[in-house]
A = this chain, B = another copy of it.
Amino acid sequence: MTPEEFRAAGHRLIDWIADYRARVDRFPVMAQTEPGAIKAQLPVSPPDQPESIDAIVADLDRVVVPGLSHWQHPQFFGYFPCNGSLASVLGDYVSTGLGVLGLAWQSSPALTEVEEVATDWLRQMLGLSAAWSGVIQDTASTSTLIALICARERATAFGLTRGGLQAEPRPLVVYTSAHSHSSVNKAALLAGFGRDNIRLIAHDASYAMRPDALAAAIDEDRRAGSLPCAVVATAGSTTSTAFDPLDAIGRIAAEHTLWFHVDAAMAGSAMILPECRHLWDGVERADTLVVNPHKWLGAAFDCTVYYLRDPEHLVRVMSTNPSYLQSSADGRVKNYRDWGIPLGRRFRALKLWFLIREQGVAKLQQRLRRDLDNAQWLAGEVRAARAWRLLAAVPLQTLCVRHEPDGLSGEALDRHTLAWVERVNRSGAAYLTPATLDGRWMVRVSIGAENTERTHVEALWRTMRHEAERP
């Protein structure tokens, strides 16, 4: 495709995307499709000869769009808000269009330096001290894996340079809560720790990790000859937005030389609001911290920022230095290849940089405050409605709710919950995610899609009542 063909097709696709975004609220939020139905509409084999852009765009309309669940829909209340704010989308367009690659600083200096600047801007927005350095990773899952590998290597004095994890005689132990994200467990397993060495620390009534239980578990492991290695705390759990007490956990981690990683993937965005920062008091005690601007804040996926206090340690764990990657600038620059797993990197900073500049901090704060207000409004409605229950506090924008008609409990209540949420989702009017809390199904309402205004939350509430309360 020549630049002139790109120009023509590009204009057409910009209009296509603008139209899609302008009309996204007309689609059923959740895809109304059956497994295999999309695949069945596509050719089994690749075309030998070129196809026209017309043919490709026609398939977008015919096959792809009907097979989407629409995350940018104002009635999207599932999982978490994954806002691809349009200014950020444009930043990513520039990145993809430029087609430059960060293997080393030299291989595109601006890619590295804009990333340093944009992640530092975000650090300031979050109220973090200047002791943190930031780097963009794809997701929080990957970031937590990196953190736990760094923890493993610190605990073993860089065992990877010798016999590896097998050469360490004391079992290394990772501590987290049952309410931490599934990626924490996955990261610990992938890093080699083994399920027997993951301790799920008890939580309190607010689903936050109990520091006394953490301290007791560490003591017990020490007595048994194990080596406590890392604790992963959650600032805003996935299910109920519980905040583990970072200050107390951080003190215990310091006392026992544990690596202290904080997962603030979703709730981290809220920390651009000074009034929310008390929720992660003690975050400065952490060794590493992950925040996902690609969630509520609005950076186009994928854009996770991994903050760390000791770049030298990270680079020592991750570094590769073959001859073909060396350059005369080494030693005076950051080579982000040594700050994560992949060697190559996109110019991902542009999507964060465009977002922050086009919106400005004040406007981003204003939108997040709107969502906090909407969540409090809905919480009030749920509390006031007969047979509806709010199952957890609402510190930010996610509600855990259940409709509990008289006489229903246990598995019958579970069946009722799963049935009405399925009716909501299949209706196309809204998208909600069921989840379990204390062993019973309930419904998470995650408010914060960029287009979601109070009227949309009001409509959601009507839909929920209609589907749950109908005879």
Which 4 interchain pairs have the tightest Cβ spacing?
A: A164-B194, A84-B99, A67-B110, A17-B97
A194-B322 contact given A53-B358, A71-B100, CB 8 Å threshold: no
Residues of B near A97 (CB, < 8 A) are 13, 16-17, 20-21, 84, 89
Contact with B along A64-84 (1 / 0, CB 8 A): 111111111000001100111
Chain B minimum-CB-distance residue to A191 = B192
Decide: A357 and B47 in contact? CB cutoff 8 A. yes
Of B46, B159, B422, the residue contacting A124 (CB under 8 A) is B46
Chain B minimum-CB-distance residue to A53 = B358
Query: How many Å from the CB of A445 to the closest CB on chain B?
Result: 12
Interface members, chain A 347-402 (any B CB < 8 Å): 350, 354, 356-363
With most chain B CB atoms within 10 A of its CB, the pick from A65, A164, A332, A434 is: A164
Query: How many Å from the CB of A188 to the closest CB on chain B?
Result: 8
Residues of B near A321 (CB, < 8 A) are 182
Residues of B near A186 (CB, < 8 A) are 318, 320, 341
Instruction: List 12 extra interface pairs beyond A160-B193, A160-B194, A238-B322, CB under 8 A.
Output: A35-B329, A39-B117, A46-B122, A82-B99, A84-B96, A99-B300, A140-B343, A145-B341, A160-B190, A162-B195, A163-B194, A328-B422
Of B39, B82, B117, B181, the residue contacting A113 (CB under 8 A) is B39
Query: How many Å from the CB of A441 to the closest CB on chain B?
Result: 8
Contact with B along A282-322 (1 / 0, CB 8 A): 00000000000010000011100000000000000110111
Decide: B96 and A361 in contact? CB cutoff 8 A. no
Residue A103 at the B interface, CB < 8 A?
yes
Interface members, chain A 336-351 (any B CB < 8 Å): 341-344, 346, 350
The CA-CA distance from A89 to B15 in the complex, in Å, is 16
Decide: B196 and A162 in contact? CB cutoff 8 A. yes
Query: How many Å from the CB of A228 to the closest CB on chain B?
Result: 14
Chain B minimum-CB-distance residue to A437 = B323
Protomer copies:
2
Decide: A48 and B117 in contact? CB cutoff 8 A. no
The CA-CA distance from A148 to B297 in the complex, in Å, is 35
Of B98, B183, B193, B301, the residue contacting A164 (CB under 8 A) is B193
Q: Interface SS of chain A: helix, strand, loop or mixed?
A: helix
Residue A18 at the B interface, CB < 8 A?
yes
Residues of B near A21 (CB, < 8 A) are 3, 6, 97
Query: How many Å from the CB of A70 to the closest CB on chain B?
Result: 7
Decide: A361 and B196 in contact? CB cutoff 8 A. no
Decide: A56 and B354 in contact? CB cutoff 8 A. yes
Decide: A17 and B94 in contact? CB cutoff 8 A. yes
Decide: B192 and A165 in contact? CB cutoff 8 A. yes
Interface members, chain A 95-129 (any B CB < 8 Å): 96-101, 103, 105-111, 113-114, 116-117, 120-122, 124-125
The CA-CA distance from A15 to B101 in the complex, in Å, is 22
Residue A409 at the B interface, CB < 8 A?
no
With most chain B CB atoms within 10 A of its CB, the pick from A20, A122, A125, A194 is: A194
Decide: B38 and A182 in contact? CB cutoff 8 A. no
Residues of B near A194 (CB, < 8 A) are 159-167
6 contacts between A and B (CB under 8 A): A36-B332, A53-B358, A69-B106, A92-B96, A152-B192, A183-B320
The CA-CA distance from A50 to B87 in the complex, in Å, is 11
The CA-CA distance from A231 to B354 in the complex, in Å, is 44
The CA-CA distance from A98 to B166 in the complex, in Å, is 45
The CA-CA distance from A341 to B304 in the complex, in Å, is 14
